[in-house]
Amino acid sequence: MNMHMLDWAILLGALGLLAFICWWASRLTKSVADFLAANRLAGRYLLAVGQGMAGLGAITIAANFEKYYQAGFAASWWVQMVVPITLIITLTGFVIYRYRETRAMTMAQFFEMRYSKRFRIFAGMLTWLSGILNYGIFPAVSARFLIYFTGLPSTVEVAGFSVSTFALVMGILLTVAVCMAVFGGQISIMVTDMVQGQFVVIVMLLILAILFYHMSWGDVIAGLHESPEGKSKVNPFDQDKVTDFNLWYFMMMGVLNIYGTRAWQGSQGYNAAAITPHEARMAGILGDFRGMITNLAILMVPIYVFAYMHLPQFSSEAAQVMDNLGGIDNPQIQKQMLVPMALGDILPVGLMGLFAAVVILSAVSTDNTYLHSWGSIFIQDVVHPFLKKPLSQRAHMWALRLSIVSVAVFAFIWGLVFPIHEYIYMYFQITGAIYLGGAGAVIIGGLYWKRGTAGGAWAAMICGSTIAVVGIVVRNIMWPYWLPEWKARYVDVALLQQLPEKFPLNGMQMSFLAACVAIIAYVVASLLSKRKPADMDRLLHRGKYAVQADAANDAFPAALEAPRPRRTLMQRLGIGPEFTRGDKVIYFFKLGWALFFVFVFVLGTSVNLFWPIPDSVWEKWWAFKTGIVFVVGALTVVWFLWGGFRDLFRMSAALKTMERDVTDDGTVSAEEHVQEEVK
């Protein structure tokens, strides 16, 4: 076991503090709107830190460790290719601003407002199915991460019985997450996520400092040069033998980032929780600054581990790690657990406990958010639309809680029985595409194109999800299990014998295909429809449909006025009258920071086309980038500590004094429909 008594004490102390905060936050939850969306009272820093923590997760850490161990610094070069895309999305508030204007508490509620009640139910079912399948491996990967990092035994004795440590740890993590989700709903989740996020970024800062002290930069680079030819960890243009996390992977990821903006509903409570649309947009702008240190640590840890595993001075330690990995039968799980096991040998006493706390808090923060999302989506968008009479506040909240518990039970069983045959990110892509394959077209078309119709929405969802489901069956069942048997039985069929052992398309490629087909289906079906264009002012609560509460919370009552054409440069950049001086400073700092790295990416890629850049130049660039991100990221820690707790106290004060609207429960009235129901 790698953990010292001090490490266990740190771990238990963090969990105790978390339980206290959860209890305090749960006392503020008094209505369905509180439970689902924190009554739309969250400020930008509370959203940025909380949602960032919810999206982190132990499984996300493990998936990124897996990716960067395979591709190294070179992977982060190609990520710059999608920066302009994410920049446009965050600075303009693409999707999230208009979605918040609809005042919908779930995406499927928006689907009913924009399309039809029957489409809402269908989309809710797809969202829920895709979500629970996607989430099903989260607790399992988190439990394995914790077990192999801490060195826990495979079984433990409980009341005289030998119990699987894997099942026990997974059950404990899920129990903690369920308690947090059912007691206070989105309020408890958001408050605890914010506090956990502040804790995690401080620990990540300490881990980076330890890594920089433990191994010199020269040793790190020397270790990275031990990678095979064509799989460079330093030079992004020497990766022709990297099959998965290569240039094409990141190009498709960039397109899907636009297509799937805010489509994934794993943290749907955050999408509706902002106090105003402007605060939702500012939270997105602040997101990259909040994640600087965490993202840097997630990149540097696997890079340091790769060097650790390949340098001669650490050969005996590396051999021990490989021996321990040999005890894992599944080769894909071996890849997932290599970095956690090696990191357990590197970190000193005290920091081991802190990082173990990071793993648990990351797992719990993602688990409670996803449990809340998929549990509430099932009630709000699958069950609730069928009810002839709305549930009482008490019955409604208990139905939500029981649904959350049911999702946790499914995840526990799925994690025990489902085998992982591919990279975590590839599993994410293909299971997510069951819903995301068509959702991007439906959401963007519904918010920005008045000609989009319910027929187009149905066509996009059916086509996208069909391709995704076929991909799951072929990749995970037919190809690994049925194909070998068919080849052995029909040896005379030449075409069958020529099929490769591994399915030729990975999860990212299947997702990209599903999205392309869904876009075409949405546009064609909508154009063929003869229905009248949607009333976008009613959908977005603009002009005569403006909501006084939203207008009062903005710096300027822009929501009370009809939208005016953008004329000035500021307006063309998306800067409206609601932007304060501080907002503009943050906006342009974000713009300048991102454009600097985009400029370097374009310059480096262009130069390399004519004069190949040597590895020595790449080494200097990665050293510079690591240093500047570390310094700026360290400064943002203080910035977000202040902002996060300021927003927390403001939301708490508002929840203690406000009167609840019992009708605000996600039900769509006849007046809120912007198109006639499809008959």
**305-309, 329-333, 451-455: the lowest-pLDDT one:** 329-333
Kindly list the structural domains of the chain, giving each domain's residue range(s) and its CATH number in brackets, ordered by start.
5-421+587-665 (1.20.1730.10), 423-530 (no CATH)
Average pLDDT over residues 493-507: 76
Beta bridge partners of 156: 163
Across 159-194, b (16+ Cβ under 10 Å) vs e yields eeeeeebbebbbbbbbebbbbbbbbbbbbbbbbbbb
Asked if residue 90 has pLDDT above 80, the reply is no
Burial class (CB in 10 A: 0-12, 13-18, 19+), 219: middle
* Contact of 673 with 111, CB cutoff 8 Å: no
State the Cα angle at 673 between 564 and 436, rounded to 5°: 85
What percentage of residues in the chain have a pLDDT greater than 90?
8
What rounded mean pLDDT belongs to the chain? 81
Amino acid 526: pLDDT: 92
Average pLDDT over residues 586-605: 88
Whole-model pTM: value is 0.71
Residue with more model confidence, 556 or 83: 83
Amino acid 56: pLDDT: 75
Q: Summarize pLDDT for 528-574 with one digit per residue, the tens.
A: 987 888 888 888 888 777 765 555 454 433 433 444 444 566 666 66
Beta bridge partners of 162: 157
Q: Which residues contact 349 (CB under 8 A, 6 or more apart)?
A: 4, 6, 7
Q: Summarize pLDDT for 397-416 with one digit per residue, the tens.
A: 888 889 999 999 999 998 88
Task: Report d(CA 97, CA 456) in Å as an integer.
Answer: 23
Task: Report d(CA 297, CA 265) in Å as an integer.
Answer: 26
* Contact of 50 with 224, CB cutoff 8 Å: no
Asked if residue 459 has pLDDT above 90, the reply is yes
Give the three-state DSSP class for 73.
helix
Residue with more model confidence, 575 or 446: 446
Asked if residue 78 has pLDDT above 70, the reply is yes
Residue with more model confidence, 674 or 191: 191
Asked if residue 679 has pLDDT above 90, the reply is no
Average pLDDT over residues 414-419: 80
List the structure tokens of 448: 């920005």
Amino acid 462: pLDDT: 92
Q: Closest by alpha carbon to 411, among 142, 145, 106?
A: 142
Q: Summarize pLDDT for 337-386 with one digit per residue, the tens.
A: 788 888 877 888 888 888 888 888 888 888 888 888 888 888 888 887 77
Amino acid 456: pLDDT: 92
Asked if residue 672 has pLDDT above 60, the reply is no
As a whole number of Å, the end-to-end CA separation of the chain is 64
Q: Summarize pLDDT for 114-164 with one digit per residue, the tens.
A: 898 889 888 888 888 888 888 888 888 888 888 888 878 878 777 777 888
